A and B are shown apart, each in its own frame.
Chain A
Amino acid sequence: MLLQAVASGVALGLIYAGIGAGLSLVLSTGRLTNLAHGEFVLVGGYILFVLCHGLGWPWPAALAVAALGGALLGSVLPPLVRRLPRREVDGLAFTLGVAFILQNLLLLGATATYRVIPGGYWLETVALGPVHFSRVTLVAALGAGTALIGLDAWLRVSWTGSGLRAVSQSRPAAASLGISPDRMERVAFLAGGATAAAAGGLVLLTRFLTPGEGSAWTLVALAVAFLGGRPSAVALMTAGVALGVAESLATVLAGGAWREVVASGAVLLWLFVRGRTLLADA
């Protein structure tokens, strides 16, 4: 049973890493803790639900549209965020307001009913040695892993990716090399939104959706982004898998209620241990 819990935790953790990737990108280059990130995840999930369940689209195509929707949502934020006088604190309050608006819009549009993709071929389990997964869980986990590796390669190899990394380290230094910090910020929000919404689609494939879940996904994303430290595939996957395995083991050994305790405890612990360095050291 423990082996199964660890294996399920690894699969869950890869999806968590996907959820945290977008926030990590926005946090490092966009200098914003986006508390509406969980709602971006939900928007992606609902787009997938409407397209797959309502219109009968194949899920890979619906996933691409969900990512596009997330990118559009992300692109709305930079011009507004730039107007905030103190981005660090006001950005938290601002994105909290955005989260509240999105949550209520989802409630209006989709009601509080739990949404799931009906079962069938994709929900059948397959055995991988001693552990079992549903086909859809395997697909979602592998999809998240592949997307993360793709994101990592884009950040490392492409011209835009190196610009994003430069801006995340020093905006003035990047600007002095002709890299526009504002443009890179827009790209980060766009890519962050797309990643979040695509991850939301993967979430819908493996479990349910309801408009009130946004804050829980934001917390997961925060835990992954903080523990991972930077938007790289290895760091985010390590953080996501650690969180997923810890949650899975806690659920098996102590009960389902430990799920949110693990994510919130991880964020709190990180802030207590590492957050002290956030205070300017002068």
Chain B
Amino acid sequence: MREETRFVLLWGVALSAGVVAVATTSRFGLNLVAFGLLHTVLATSWCWLRAAGLFSLGHAAFFGVGALTQAWLVTGGRTSPWVALGASAAAGALAALPLLPALRLRPASFGLATLSYAVLLKGLAGGVLAFGMEGFLLPATPEFNGAAPPLVATLAVLAIASTLGYELFLRRPAGRAAAAIRQSPETTSSLGIDLVGERWLPMTLSAAVTAVAGALYAHLTGSVETAVVFSPSLSILPLVLGMLGGALHPLGGLLGTLVLYPFDELLLRPALPQAHSMAYGLALVALLMFRPQGLLRARIPRIPPSAAFPRGVPHAPFALDVQSLTVRRNGVAVLKGVTFSVEPGEILRVLGSNGAGKTSLLLAIAGRLPAERGAIFFGRTPAPRGAAARARIGLARTFQAPRPFPDWTVRENVAVAAERAGNLDAVDGLLSDLQLTALKDRPAGHLSVGEGKRLELARVLAFRPSVLLLDEPLAGLSPEAAERVSGLIEGIRRTGVAVVWVEHGPDPGKLASQLLVLEGGRIRFRGSTREWEAARQAPAS
């Protein structure tokens, strides 16, 4: 089914059900519809975060901030409810700011951070500041008096806008970046996409929309208590509804609400007034056991075949200069005073046994391990901090174990890198060079290790880097494939790229301009291949 048809159909069902409920049960029906729409807004805005690979366990933080801001501004007739809604949205967005450092975390850690943040805000607002401790009673106005038609209409507009906004987000470059981060944060950083920068937008929008929902809730119930609007159940509710419908689909929140909310309100609440919300726990457990992806399949943003949003520019060549680099991992020095430089058009082969420091060297150059001492220069400029910043000026890397974007096809994996370098025309040629044309429409998560290695190489070549870091690109390849890949690396060297090529074992290969042999984190040898062979053959003195 086309997305547009699905959108119209599902919203048609939801609004028709709402009209029937209002027509048949009047005031109760209007309340039912109002809270149903409120649940849809909450669930959809929660799902928005999942699109960026985040998992919130504390959306009550934003809901509470919105409800308290609205109640505080409107009580006493100081501010119009419409103006206050804008202020509540802004307050929600501001409340998301302290979570910026958490945007680097993995989804589970982010979830725990939001869980703690909601409790922290509840404690600060209700207890420490005594803000809303005794509750606010909101004055009734013609538009905002319980489930008054204008308020229900506002909720309907917000619910439709939030699903539409999610859909539009997925179609924009920001949505594609978010999808890339969700699939593989490390690979995304290696393409110059900043995790915090790209996750900030969906989080702020989600927080603002949730805050507006909180503000409308304040009018819907006519009163606000801190303990209620920050309660954990308001964090769990959108999570359950969103996951049930399908968190990676813009209509997931709506579908989850349509399935569970009427069942709870019409059957369970009358039967079990004290413990009716057990249905949400049961639904969540059953969902994770039997259909963890939710009722609707993920909407994967596709990478366009042509440059619909040209953003990238080719990278200018520069030399890599490493000076007295010392790096520690978990308190142990893994690199000790390593110095070398690689000019454009040179290949530096790095050799060494397991634990010699080869991968640590690549991680440090890529910006994933901080240097304790020493410096790394790109040309004459100190390398910027962070993996994404280094990638943006032309550093690319492959991973020892392939890390593709598993939901995207092979072609899309290469195109997303090509798009960043304004190089989309080269995608088909690269797929052909690496014998990936036959696999181009296969999801990259279904590739073998050898195919994944070739895809890694295609991705970095499409990125047109200035400095290329290769982590054992030949490991696991057949002799023919290894020969072919070596030829491609030689080809990219000729275009003026500085290559740092790590391989396991003592064989320097044929293509190295210079060799660096590491042992226990120190340089054991640095020089030409001929010098290395002579050194190996010389009798130990």
Contact = CB atoms under 8 A, between A and B. Distances in A.
Interface string A244-273: 000000000011111111011101100110
B328 to A, nearest CB: 12
Interface in B108-136: 108-109, 111-113, 115-117, 119-120, 122-124, 126-128, 130
Nearest to A260: B123
Nearest to B360: A281
A50 interface: no
A85 B445 CA distance: 15
B109 A261 contact: no
B236 interface: yes
A261 B127 contact: yes
A102 to B, nearest CB: 8
A279 B104 contact: yes
B368 A100 contact: no
A82 to B, nearest CB: 11
Nearest to B274: A107
Contact of A100 (B112, B115, B243, B278): B278
A275 B117 CA distance: 15
- Tell me whether chain A's interface is mostly helix, strand or loop, or mixed: helix
Interface in B424-478: none
B240 to A, nearest CB: 8
Interface in B360-396: 363, 368-369
Nearest to B232: A215
B77 interface: no
Contacts of B102: 271-272, 275
Contact of B128 (A112, A261, A268): A261
Contacts of A272: 101-102, 113
Given A93-B243, A219-B116, A281 B281 contact: no
A275 B107 CA distance: 11
Interface stretch (B13-21, B282-290, B307-315): B282-290
B288 A89 contact: no
B34 interface: no
Contacts of A86: 292
A255 B363 CA distance: 48
Given A101-B281, A107-B275, A260-B122, 15 more contacts: A80-B285, A84-B288, A89-B111, A91-B108, A92-B111, A93-B243, A93-B288, A97-B283, A98-B285, A100-B236, A104-B277, A257-B128, A275-B105, A275-B113, A281-B363
Interface of B: 55, 57, 101-102, 104-109, 111-113, 115-117, 119-120, 122-124, 126-128, 130, 185-186, 232, 236, 239-240, 243, 272, 274-275, 277-278, 280-285, 288-289, 292, 329, 359, 363, 368-369, 399-400, 403
28 contacts: A33-B108, A33-B112, A83-B289, A89-B111, A93-B284, A94-B288, A96-B284, A97-B240, A98-B281, A99-B281, A100-B277, A101-B278, A101-B285, A104-B277, A219-B115, A222-B116, A256-B127, A257-B128, A258-B128, A260-B123, A267-B115, A268-B116, A271-B112, A271-B116, A275-B113, A280-B185, A281-B363, A282-B400
Interface of A: 33, 35, 80, 83-86, 88-94, 96-101, 103-105, 107-108, 111-112, 215-216, 219, 222, 254-261, 263-265, 267-268, 271-272, 275-276, 278-282
